[in-house]
Structure 1
Amino acid sequence: MIKKIKLDKYEQTIETALAAGKFRRVKNFAAEKNKLVKAAQNTLNKMRNINLRVSIRDLMKLKSRVEETGIPYQTLVRSLIRQYTSGQVQLQV
């Protein structure tokens, strides 16, 4: 079952034109598709800086624990975020 998404006026115009056959596939469709897929992947892989408010005590504990592993604490935090968002780590509140 396809979920209906409410389209705005511009999106509905595009849908109507598409249904009427007003769009044609570009000649080099496969190459264009690959180019756009790579652009989308690159966009998702970009890094963005964020600011976190962490108590000095927690930051000191974090830094002392990562010294045991030999990786930078920011790398550990990034890894934990990635694991949480992928469902590998569960948060207990």
Structure 2
Amino acid sequence: MADFVCTVPQSYSRFFKGATGRTFVSFVNELRIEEACKQLASTTNDIIDIAYECGYGNLSNFNRRFSQIQKCTPSEYRKKHLQRRA
């Protein structure tokens, strides 16, 4: 993003945090987890495939970020959502 707006990453990060109150990385992680939630609720794709599709390079990091944001694991999220559908 910094390249896109012709600035250095540190300046962009300060600007983004000043404008939104959160870091750019946390914003991107929230978007990725939001997309993962949609996929968990609407597909039967493997969790690892969803993690990769949402931009996570490994399952461990995906699970950690997912739990941090959603307060449950991806499989718990899917199970809860599927119970609501039934």
TM-score (norm 1): 0.27
Q: Work out which of the two has the higher radius of gyration on C-alpha atoms and give 1 or 2.
A: 1
Q: Whose RCO is larger (CA < 8 A, sep 6+)?
A: 2
Higher helix share: 2
Q: How high is the TM-score relative to the length of structure 2?
A: 0.28
